[in-house]
Copies of this chain bind each other. A is one copy, B any other.
């Protein structure tokens, strides 16, 4: 038993040593770093960014994971959201993964922005050709936290998660499917009931196949209906969001939560759209919400 444990440690050390820092930028007194590593879950090189606030030089800090939306990489949020200012003020690390596997070997649909690369939907695909690499759910909930908590000055086992649009939904399902893994969850303009909208149906039918029972395991509204345990949850939608009526369906999630006595705060922000200008406006409140729960 001791021997197996030692082997496992060696394996991990080897694995993590393959992680390579590819960029380092000073910001708000801390460091915005970017890494690439060979992902065990996705069987390809993956890129992610980490913002370490100034406090991380002298202590371990709690981490907030950010899941981005369709077409994004790890770069969008770190460039456009203005989150690092608040992370520096609050003493939070930001973990910003990519939205899908990448590389020449990875299946894609180059005709569509909402399927394939940039559109992993944070599920484990079961259908060919997607199942070779599209295991974003395992990547986000298992591999990445293990890597981050092994390699960076973050508090182990204490995490929160948030995201935007497809990534807002990703944050919701990661939290709803893993009671106790996150202290809090929030989302900006999340797809709330993907089984019910084009974006979700397009991805789920390709990644998971035609059996819609398998879709329910990755649908936030269905997970609440199925009895997911409550977790502090904050959601913002903009009333001027061009995707609100056809893709997002917050009213479905609200109804499921009401029927399950699941506490939830969905705020409808007047006139705001789906862009990073909307996110920038409210990211401070979201990070304060997470900080309060992370430091309880």
Contacts and interface: CB of A to CB of B under 8 A. Distances in A.
Nearest to A239: B26
A26 B271 CA distance: 6
In this complex, the member of A26, A84, A270, A278 whose beta carbon has the largest number of chain B beta carbons within 10 angstroms is A26
B82 A79 contact: no
B80 A277 contact: no
Interface in A254-296: 270-273, 275-278, 280-281, 284
Nearest to A29: B281
A85 B25 contact: no
A277 B25 contact: yes
Contacts of A26: 238, 240, 270-273, 277-278, 281
- Which secondary structure dominates chain A's binding surface? mixed
A28 interface: yes
B25 A280 contact: no
Report how many copies the assembly holds: 2
Contacts of A59: none
Nearest to A270: B26
Contacts of A275: 25
A281 B27 contact: yes
Contacts of A84: 277, 280
Contacts of A284: 85
Contacts of A281: 26-29, 85
Contact of A276 (B79, B276, B277): B79
A63 interface: no
A32 interface: yes
Given A26-B272, A272-B26, A280 B82 contact: yes
Nearest to A80: B79
A65 to B, nearest CB: 20
The 8 closest A-B pairs by CB, nearest first: A82-B82, A27-B277, A26-B271, A25-B277, A26-B272, A28-B281, A27-B281, A79-B80
Given A26-B277, A27-B277, 16 more contacts: A25-B273, A26-B238, A26-B271, A26-B273, A26-B278, A26-B281, A27-B281, A28-B281, A29-B281, A32-B277, A79-B79, A79-B276, A82-B82, A84-B280, A85-B280, A85-B281
